[in-house]
Amino acid sequence: MAAGDQLAGGRPATAARPGRYDRQLGIPGFGPAAQERLRRATVLVAGIGGVGGAAATYLAAAGVGRLVLVHPGPLEEPDLNRQTLMRPEWIGGSRVACAEQTLRAHHPGVEIVTFDRELAKLPELGQLVGEADVVVDARHNFPDRYRLNDLCVASRTPAVIAAMNATEGNVLVVEPGTPCLRCVFTEGDPSWEPLGFTVLGAVSGLAGCLAATEAIKIIARFGEPASGRLLQYDLWDMDFQSLRVRRDPACPTCAELTGAGAEEPT
């Protein structure tokens, strides 16, 4: 071999170029078929702030083929302590457009569709949920979370629901037949409704990474998705608890669909 046929790192020039996903294809239970499932998948990410932005980042990085991003309103200075898809020169611009621009720059192969709109003012939300392989719910308020939950249950779309406040976070995975958000949080949490809750960016980023991992597992069909479980963590003292949740036989969303008193998953 002539000297010029050898690359600087010692790899022959004729060797196959390393692929973007080479480092994940070897994960036990993963592989090319799982990668192809990701490429064909659509994930709806509702909320593109600290939680949803991190989730979208890692969904795109893993090779999910199509992301639908829904988030209302412009970027403001206080968003920048956690929303790593955003840049200071974009303050005043649409947040969902900022997210799209950053994701496209890093992952040009991912199709991105955006809606700069409140969920309540998005008539096509039901259709978008029905067409998604998984919904990542990263909204901060219970009206939006219940709205998504009800649409996911009705259309049998798996949902990964992530939220945080200060140093605490939680992630709930709902697949058809497992307890839904209304089973677990029957009356919401009024303290989380105002936008005034506190956020440490690393805490919201962790919630987003956990949500992305669960969505990827469901789509790619590897590992054991945490369906029917609620992960609660408090990074104040690094406390993590994974709780099995129970269906509410009187749940207004899922009781009729699944049958009141149906067997709990074990």
> Which lies closer to Zn ion via its Cβ, residue 66 or residue 139?
139
* Residue 251 sits in the site that holds Zn ion (CB under 5 A): yes
The answer to whether the beta carbons of residues 171 and 231 sit under 8 Å apart is: yes
Nearest-angstrom CA–CA distance, 149 and 155: 10
Going by C-alpha positions, the residue among 137, 131, 96 that lies closest to residue 113 is 96
By rule CB under 5 A, what string of x and - marks binding of each residue 122-161 to Zn ion? ----------------------------------------
Nearest-angstrom CA–CA distance, 159 and 117: 20
* Residue 254 sits in the site that holds Zn ion (CB under 5 A): yes
Give the bridge partners for 169, in sequence order.
164, 233
> Which lies closer to Zn ion via its Cβ, residue 103 or residue 184?
184
Cβ neighbours, 10 Å, residue 209: 17
> Which lies closer to Zn ion via its Cβ, residue 184 or residue 220?
184
Determine the interface stretch with Zn ion among 73-81, 105-113, 206-214, 247-255 (rule: CB under 5 A): 247-255
CB of 9 to Zn ion, least distance (A): 54
Positions 171 through 190 that interact with Zn ion (CB under 5 A): 180, 182-183
CB of 255 to Zn ion, least distance (A): 6
Residues in contact with Zn ion, total (CB under 5 A)?
6
Give the bridge partners for 173, in sequence order.
160, 227
> Which lies closer to Zn ion via its Cβ, residue 239 or residue 256?
256
Determine the interface stretch with Zn ion among 87-95, 106-114, 125-133, 252-260 (rule: CB under 5 A): 252-260
What angle in degrees, to the nearest 10, is found between the helix axes of 95-106 and 50-62? Answer: 30
Relative to beta strand 111-115, strand 239-244 is unpaired
CB of 248 to Zn ion, least distance (A): 6
Nearest-angstrom CA–CA distance, 257 and 266: 19
CB of 254 to Zn ion, least distance (A): 3
The answer to whether the beta carbons of residues 163 and 192 sit under 8 Å apart is: yes
- Binding site residues, Zn ion, CB under 5 A: 180, 182-183, 251, 253-254
